[in-house]
Amino acid sequence: MFEMARDKEKPAIGEPTRQQLLEAASAVFAECGFRAATVRQICERAGTNVAAVNYYFNGKAGLYAEVLRFAHRCAEERHPASAASGKNLAPERELELFVHAFLQRLFDEGRTAWLGKLMSREMVEPTAALDAVVEEQIRPSSRHLQGVLRQLLGPRAAMEQVRLCEMSVVSQCLFYHHCRPVISRMFPRFDFSTEALRRLAVHITRFSLAGLKGTKKGGD
């Protein structure tokens, strides 16, 4: 019974170490990428023993998979994409809130910034962990956006049309993140401050609504 009681205590005792590893690994993977980052780097930053990675995450790959989940949770908690759900808002307003939350998650600092950097690397060098991220985080967000777009396009809109419009909306947000180094050189006064992101969300929404209106008209 003593051994059983001690085993039950392990997760509670080890939770701070596990969290330290997640925090450190998120920063290291965001800076270096999955392949270049080393377990030793992560453990040195976390102040833990190298063996802790195997104990808590079954190795580097398991740690990385959990880091992606952790980064998404941090971003979603700070800037929820579905914040407007259940508030009976007009779909135009829901679209703006979705775009704004997406931009905030991409450009935020601290923990939330990990997500944009990690996903940028996944787009270039996808890992096995991406499958779980798509199913657990991206697909639910996609369904939410599709629901908003279907309201704007009307019940007669084909699923392919909804998906294409979804990708067009998302791609506008991603452009500003992925092309930021070029944008900053071409337009030095273009900034990504909190207020600038709000204005950018309004612009992307208006541009998208005009495109949706044209798409809907063309499909009638």
Q: What is the DSSP string of 147-159?
A: HHHHHHH-TT--H
The rounded mean pLDDT for the chain is: 87
Cα separation values, 190 from 96, 110, 172, 174, 200, Å: 21, 22, 16, 16, 11
Overall size of the chain counted in residues? 220
Angle made by CA atoms 160, 87, 97, in degrees to the nearest 5: 60
Q: Are 64 and 34 in contact (CB under 8 A)?
A: yes
**Which residue, chain included where needed, has tokens 């377990």?**
39
* Positions of CATH 1.10.10.60 in the chain: 2-70
Specify the 3-state DSSP secondary structure of 195.
helix
Say if residue 84's pLDDT is above 90.
no
* Positions of CATH 1.10.357.10 in the chain: 79-219
Report pLDDT digits (tens) over 5-48: 333 333 333 578 999 999 999 999 999 999 999 999 999 999 99
**Which residue, chain included where needed, has tokens 């092309």?**
179
Say if residue 1's pLDDT is above 50.
no
Angle made by CA atoms 200, 170, 90, in degrees to the nearest 5: 70
State the fold for domain 79-219. Tetracycline Repressor; domain 2 (1.10.357)
Q: 2-70 has which CATH code? A: 1.10.10.60
Rounded to whole angstroms, the Cα distance separating 95 from 202 reads: 10
34 against 219, higher pLDDT: 34
